[in-house]
Structure 1
Amino acid sequence: MEKSGKQQAVLTSVHNERVKQWTQLLDRKGRDKQGRFLIEGIHLAEEALRSDVPPEVLVYSAERAEASLRLRKEAAALGIECVAVMESVLAKCTDTESPQPVFAVVPKLPWRPADLLAASEKGGLVAVIDGMQDPGNLGTIIRSADAVGASGVLLGKGTVDLYNPKTVRSTMGSLFHLPIVQGDLQEWLPQAASRGVKVVSTRLEDAVSMYEYDFRQPTWFVIGNEGQGVSASVQQLAQHHVRIPMQGRTESLNAAMAATVVLFEAMRQRGGGTKQYS
């Protein structure tokens, strides 16, 4: 192992106690128990190192050490432990068929729904996820929310785990750029509305074109499940409903694509991305 520049033995056994703990993080139960999650690859590790939630430990392939040299120097400068392992250990602890040369163990994000309420009082834009199941779709929406300068993302009950390895990878590091929190939509949507936030969802019936809706006001935009859309109980909490006008013959868009279209329209109305919300 290596810490602050000190080189020690390479970790070789997949039966090592630390390796067992890291492997548990591939499962939601293990992540919930430890309050930590795994990120894989140089890019995600770089994003974590530069965020407010730096890794607790950086694990790298001893056989591909050159690939992570710069990253390890950056981590060591921050006092982060760097552990060299054999490829067999790397494969045991990661989710991909061809493991990246590095992974890191990171504490779960510290944000709470109250943080989104505070941001919304300043005119914020929040993407609210209701029961989405596909990790790739969730990751894409998080990237889109990041791209438009949204205040954050709220994940309702029944939504795929934010820390699922596939979700984490698909965010491409955006999960470190803005608050992402989990909470009961039945509790937090009414609280947001009581503070002057407009709760908006998409639907086809009794909805206005998204181009006619004023997204310049504090807005929490609800995106639903891939197959069923926004649930009936959450739909009742929405004060306004918008639809995406379409000229072609398709009847609907992928959930992540639809969310991205609306979020970028909100950004356009708010000044084309010239203002950032915190």
Structure 2
Amino acid sequence: MKTINQLFSVIATVLILFCTITISAQDETPQGPQYVSVTTMHWNMDMKDFKMDEWKAIEKEYLDKVTKKNEHIMGAGFYLHNISSDNTELIYVQAYPNWNAIDLAAKRNGELAKEAWPNEDERKAFFQKQNAYYSSMHSDEIYATMPNVKNLTDVKEGMIVYVRTSHFAFPKDGSNKEFMDTFNEYTQNVTHKNEYIKGYYPMSHAYGSDGTQFVEAYYLNSLADMDKMFDKDGELFNAHWKDEAAKKAMNDKGGKYFTGVHGDAVYSVVPELRK
């Protein structure tokens, strides 16, 4: 992947830190989720007879009987390792309308589970079967959703999510206005116009291990579309900022909000396990 095209993409990530509180306060009638929980789970590598279809069937049963009926969960889905530092990991994501809904959703899950499996022995047997697929080790992060989402409208088999985790700097000369103006300009003229990006979800740290984190999730139809996405970002960037002075000004404004450190990962979408 080309470094300069990655830099163009990074500009969108670095222009959000200072506008987060302002946007949340001004948006009194949010249309989408306000918080997202991300649980990094791990397969039970000691399981002798692992079958992917059986795992999907178990999670589909839970999805239909519990998650889809939980009014406090706006969306949910599983994402499987494709390119990341740990091939045992899978990611479970849930989206909520507000902070209180996180706790309410957990309580409601318990109620719905009792309704779905009223017999205690049967309920216990189901959860033992479900939990057998996973290691006891997991980690959790909660992120605040950001403006300029490009909503995913169609989930296809073979779709992937490219996840970029960046880290914010805290420049003394930064401002909400500069931050927001530049972020809006970039996403509207590059990210939202890139036909290879089927969905775009920016999120910033709300609760977890690293307060500087900023996570972008790009939904693409296939792994082959990743390089096409970066190439198209470059084309769109050059089309909007036509002269070198404009390009430099944009890069300079974006660069001061960003440490230069980022991580990349790719996960496969599981279409049948989505709310």
TM-score range, shorter chain: under 0.3
- Asked which structure has the greater RCO (Cα within 8 Å, sep 6+), the reply is 2
Say which structure is richer in strand: 2
TM-score, normalised relative to structure 1: 0.25
